[in-house]
Chains A and B, each alone.
Chain A
Amino acid sequence: MTERLRLEHAVIKYGDNTAVNDVSLSVCSGEMVFITGANGSGKSTLTRGIAGLLTLSSGTLERNGRMSYVPQVEEADRNFPARVREIVLTGTQRPGRLFYSRDDRLRAEGAMRELGIDGLADREIRTLSGGQLRRVFLARALCGEPELLLLDEPCAGLDAESHEVLFSVLGRIIAEGCAVLMVTHDVSDLDWINASRIITLSEGRIKIS
């Protein structure tokens, strides 16, 4: 088992407000780790720190392998003039490559099919529901062929069918060796899949591990 993510004594602050306080965790390939906790407990901050969007005030972050990040859907600009297919394709971008290959396009189509949004490929994103947009973000993350997948509240507002799609996809990529770190504030999400570990945050600290 390859270690895909290792965080040691991570501290993340917004000004004087310490949102993540002394958090250590590791995720290996094929593992499914949940992060739970109340609103404002620091889950999103922790995920954004791992994704490289916030810098640690102290502690260390080590990542190895391709990472895909599925942000909270609330952060998205719903009014941007773009179609579903274009957004999904962006998941294949990486440094040093400016154009999409045929392979990238095939992977994007495959990811949309797997998430059941191939019928929406030409829709403008502003016409989508929150649940549909979540699937779009998931498809975008998948077509980057991640070895580490970070998901921030991917289930909020999903209907039962979408839940099933999400967890069957997660099951597949975990079986293929992807390391998954998923944030949820809803503990009933834990019933859908076998978790390797459940980490509960409270005021930025790990409560139960």
Chain B
Amino acid sequence: MNGFLELLSYPFVMRAVTAGTLISVCASVLGVILVLKHYSLIGHGLSEIGFASLSAASALGLPAMAITTPAVITASFIIMYVSQRYRTAGDIAIAIASSAALSLGVIVSSVSGQTSNMSSYLFGSILAMSDSDLLLSVMLSAAVMAVFILFYNRLFLITYNEDYARSLGINTALYQAVISVLTALVVVMGMRFMGTLLISSVIILPAVTARQIASGFRLLVVLSGIISLIAFILGLMVSFMLNLPAGASVVMVNAVILIIVKVLFRK
């Protein structure tokens, strides 16, 4: 415990913890909408596509983030559109396309001899955060918060019943686009420290946990963020004390919290 606090006195650790906390809170808050709209798959799909793009970019010697960010944003639009339009068949198509992307990424990485990069993309590395990443995560969190405060009533309406919102003349595609872009940015930022394979858990698990307790949408959003925050910090402490990978520890803590809540709040 003392060791953990001591570690925080190093600026690069503090930076990583701050950025990581902000991103996982954003992920879990957006996760509420994604889970309620049955878009739970999206985080997973996006991170696999992000992985393929990161691998391809680094194999070709291109700037990784500059390529991956627009690629993932584009993918998020396509995935939301497809899963809305084609429902279950769409989900299956997304699962197939994104695992194909993941495999492609693995192949590209190994052919180009980038296997060490590959492992850090797959499992994440909390210390991968730079100063500019910290700045980006602060900006992203501010954007997510602003969207939830300004557009709360709209998000509530659209998440509950998009058709009804459209019948009122509300431009639901615009809000959908905002959520798509924010989700894509959270995935791109988050996959680097949580890992490609685990970022989607940070999107989904806190929302599912909060759903067991909260009876209203507003409380659900707030609770999901708080659970994610606690799970992230606890996960990092566990990872430091037991010398375990950070991303995996955060997900494990999230899973344990979910199980405890399920047992305590059995409905």
Contacts and interface: CB of A to CB of B under 8 A. Distances in A.
Interface of A: 48, 51-53, 67-69, 71, 75-77, 80-83, 86-87, 89-91, 93-95, 98-100, 124, 140, 144
A77 B163 contact: no
Contacts of B214: 81
Contacts of A48: 163
B160 A82 contact: yes
**Residue from B168, B211, B214 with most neighbouring chain A CB atoms (10 Å):** B168
Nearest to A144: B168
A140 B216 CA distance: 18
Given A93-B153, A95-B168, 19 more contacts: A51-B163, A52-B167, A69-B167, A71-B164, A77-B160, A80-B159, A80-B217, A81-B211, A81-B217, A83-B215, A86-B216, A90-B153, A90-B156, A90-B157, A90-B164, A93-B157, A93-B170, A95-B170, A98-B151
A93 B216 contact: no
Interface residues of B, number: 26
Contacts of B117: none
A95 B171 CA distance: 8
B154 A98 contact: yes
B8 interface: no
A90 B155 CA distance: 11
B167 A67 contact: yes
B169 A95 contact: yes
Contacts of B159: 80
B36 A93 contact: no
Nearest to B219: A81
A95 to B, nearest CB: 5
A82 B161 contact: no
